[in-house]
């Protein structure tokens, strides 16, 4: 059942004879899940798959909001206020030099907790987080979140797993930037990374969606926008890839893999 309110649409479901609010349609077209306990993807998320008691306490300390593309949730060097759960959407974590050069550290996807290191260590945020599309975020104030982790050991373990995952991603990024011999190798490495396990599937062609601009891809591989544009043209000419809108087709996986320095 659907009912309308001022600027929102509410989705209701009968549970035990009562109509319960499942979600809210935000101005950005997102179906908002207000209650963590009724989140349909909670069990698939590294941090959010908690026991009922922990979920109840998490529900009490978090605040939910939606943000448009381009919104910055925190800025490098800013005093940490707390952590953010990215419920829906995606964003980029990046760092910049005083000269204005920017490197994207990684793309954060739904289910990740952002600002963990700064919040737990009581230090400034080490990077800037900017949304790449309209997103739902749950904010966890620092003091409340630290008390929550102290009370619920399971949540602390989930945080440790998230930090371990972040560390592994950082190692891979350092390898990609530091050990690749050329911009072409960096570009081949990152598009193969985006394809994930599909690379080993044996499919002749793999389709992935790339919503990043050439400038943002350049910031991920430590290059320039002009170089990335030339790489796209060169890879298309060699029939390694083809593009259509935001779709990128990997047409010759073995040739792309041969470009990587092992």
Q: What is the pLDDT of residues 25-79, one digit of tens each?
A: 566 777 777 777 777 777 777 778 888 899 899 999 999 999 999 999 999 999 9
Q: Taking the CA of residue 164 as centre, how many other CA atoms within 13 Å lie in the half-sphere pointing to its CB?
A: 8
Q: What is the largest CA-CA distance in the chain?
A: 64
pLDDT in tens, 208-245: 999 899 999 999 988 899 999 999 999 999 999 999 99
Residue carrying the six token digits 């739904």: 110
Q: Do the beta carbons of residue 149 and residue 99 sit within 8 Å?
A: no
Higher pLDDT, 104 or 171: 104
Q: What are phi and psi of 82, to 5 degrees?
A: 160, -175
CA atoms within 13 A on the CB side of 192: 21
**Encoding tokens for residue 77?**
């060097």
Supply the pTM of this predicted model.
0.77
SS3 125: coil
How far apart are the C-alpha atoms of 168 and 13, rounded to whole Å? 41
């Amino acid at each position: 059942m659907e009912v309308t309110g001022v600027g929102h649409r509410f989705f209701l479901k009968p549970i035990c004879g009562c109509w319960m609010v499942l979600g809210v349609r935000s101005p950005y077209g997102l179906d908002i899940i207000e209650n963590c306990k009724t989140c349909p993807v909670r069990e698939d998320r590294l941090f959010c798959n908690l026991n009922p008691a922990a979920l109840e306490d998490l529900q009490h300390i978090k605040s939910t909001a939606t943000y448009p593309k381009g919104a910055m949730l925190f800025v490098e060097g800013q005093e940490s206020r707390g952590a953010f759960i990215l419920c829906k959407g995606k964003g980029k974590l990046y760092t910049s030099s005083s000269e204005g050069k920017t490197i994207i550290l990684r793309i954060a996807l739904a289910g990740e907790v952002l600002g963990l290191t700064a919040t737990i260590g009581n230090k400034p945020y080490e990077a800037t987080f900017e949304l790449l599309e309209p997103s739902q975020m749950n904010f966890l104030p620092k003091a409340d979140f630290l008390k929550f982790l102290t009370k619920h050991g399971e949540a602390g373990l989930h945080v440790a797993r998230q930090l371990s995952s972040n560390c592994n991603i950082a190692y891979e990024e350092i390898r990609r930037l530091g050990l690749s011999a050329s911009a072409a190798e960096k570009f081949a490495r990152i598009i193969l990374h985006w394809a994930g396990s599909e690379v080993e599937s044996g499919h002749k062609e793999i389709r992935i969606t790339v919503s990043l601009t050439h400038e943002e891809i350049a910031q991920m591989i430590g290059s320039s926008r002009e170089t990335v544009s030339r790489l796209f043209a060169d890879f298309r000419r060699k029939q390694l890839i083809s593009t259509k809108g935001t779709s990128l087709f990997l047409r010759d996986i073995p040739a792309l893999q041969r470009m990587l320095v092992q």
